[in-house]
Structure 1
Amino acid sequence: MSMKEDLNKLSETLKQYRDELRVQLHLARQDVRDEWDDLDEYWDKFRQKLDDIRHDAEGVSDETRQTAHKLGEELKSGYERIRQRIK
């Protein structure tokens, strides 16, 4: 799987996690909400990096792709943590 395909798959997984969690957030405690707010800022950064990659795939450096991937993996971990806490 190419890096671009991997990032697209990661993006779709993150979107699903984010959407599911948003629905359940109203039941969450304040500390979970604080963590959510922090992750939401990472989400914005991740989406911007992904948009940059999609719009300029040839001119994007490996460092930018790796940064996007790292942000995505951090988001995934954070979303999974929240999912476990609110179950």
Structure 2
Amino acid sequence: MTLQDDFHKLSEKIKQYRDEARVQMHLAREDVKDEWDDLEKDWERFRHKMDQVLHDTQDAGHESRETLNRLGEDLKKGYQNIRKKL
């Protein structure tokens, strides 16, 4: 086998890895986008719930505040997870 053959095989293997990585990147982007879209819906729910709790601050029960806190923590973790993936 010649040096040219060796380089040709190497080039083909690199191309294969590159193509596979490209497909994986595309799929990962779609997964992250789907995750982002879900988080955005949760963000809107969080904001709505927060507005309710802040508006009714004196009447807001402990359970409402805890729910809001859990939603906020889940959102924070979700956005941190996306940051890590990017």
What TM-score, normalized to structure 2?
0.66
* Higher RCO (CA < 8 A, seq sep 6+): 1
Letter in 2 for 1:30: E
Corresponding residue for residue 75 of structure 1: 75
Letter in 2 for 1:29: R
Q: Deviations over 1:18-41 (max 9, x none)?
A: xxxxxxxxxx71110000011111
Corresponding residue for residue 65 of structure 2: 65
Q: Over the residues paired in the alignment, what is the CA RMSD in angstroms?
A: 1.1
Q: Among the aligned pairs, what percent are the same residue?
A: 49
Corresponding residue for residue 7 of structure 2: none
Corresponding residue for residue 55 of structure 1: 55
* Alignment size in residue pairs: 59
Question: What is the CA–CA distance in structure 1 between the aligned matches of 2:42 and 2:61, rounded to whole Å?
Answer: 20
Q: CA deviation at 1:72?
A: 0.3
After the TM superposition, list the runs of 4 or more consecutive aligned residues in structure 1 that deviate by more than 4 angstroms.
Answer: none
5+ long unaligned stretches in structure 1 = 1-27
Letter in 1 for 2:73: E
Partner SS state of residue 57, structure 1: coil
Question: What is the CA–CA distance in structure 2 between the aligned matches of 1:44 and 1:55, rounded to whole Å?
Answer: 16
Question: What is the CA–CA distance in structure 2 between the aligned matches of 1:41 and 1:64, rounded to whole Å?
Answer: 19
Corresponding residue for residue 45 of structure 2: 45
Task: Establish whether residue 33 from structure 1 lines up as the match of residue 33 from structure 2.
Answer: yes
Q: Which structure's CA Rg is the greater one?
A: 2
Q: CA deviation at 1:58?
A: 0.2
What TM-score, normalized to structure 1?
0.65
